[in-house]
Amino acid sequence: MPEALLALAKKHNITLKFWSFKPPIEAVYFRYPGKNPVIGLDYRLLLDRKHFRCVLAEELGHFFTSSQESIIVYCHDPNRIRTYREEYQAMVWAVNYLIPDHELELALNLMPPWELKDFFQVDPEFLAFKLKLSKDRLLANLN
């Protein structure tokens, strides 16, 4: 289990519940004003530690990047197109939390890129998203 992520949820009074979702849904984030937020996670996520970390981090990203005053519901569907601003912001938070820039820079100096997903314990798509963000940031700094 991703202990640091679970501790972060507990610190912010986010309730975690496990359910059986119909694929492709893997998780939901729900917030109602005046109530503790809830993250619902599919039981199948427990079978893959890396994927579980990525999904939980993204759902926590919704807590840290969305409005506190409104009713919010987000579903994690790995096949969705990542064009929604809220999904993008949550994903940016998640990759930056699990793969901090300074740790990525150190890791790139110590190992080949294909070992990074195992080093950071993340899915390949999650790592690719972080690398694209890093590339975009580096290119923006060149101007």
Query: What's residue 70's pLDDT?
Result: 62
For 19-28, 29-38, 81-90, which range has the lowest pLDDT when averaged over its residues? 81-90
**pLDDT score of 66 more than 60:** yes
Alpha helices in 2-123 (DSSP H): 3-11, 49-65, 85-98, 101-110, 116-120
pLDDT in tens, 70-106: 656 666 666 554 447 888 999 999 999 999 999 999 9
pLDDT in tens, 37-50: 999 999 999 999 99
- Cα separation values, 139 from 43, 131, 133, 143, Å: 40, 12, 10, 7
The pLDDT mean for the chain works out to 89
* Rounded mean pLDDT, 135-142: 75
Query: What's residue 71's pLDDT?
Result: 59
Query: What's residue 78's pLDDT?
Result: 61
Query: What's residue 83's pLDDT?
Result: 44
Q: Which residue has the higher pLDDT, 132 or 140?
A: 132
Residues 27, 20 contacting (CB under 8 angstroms)? no
Query: What's residue 111's pLDDT?
Result: 95
Spatial separation of the C-alpha atoms in residues 121 and 20, rounded to whole Å: 24
What are the residue ranges spanned by the domains of the chain?
A: 3-137
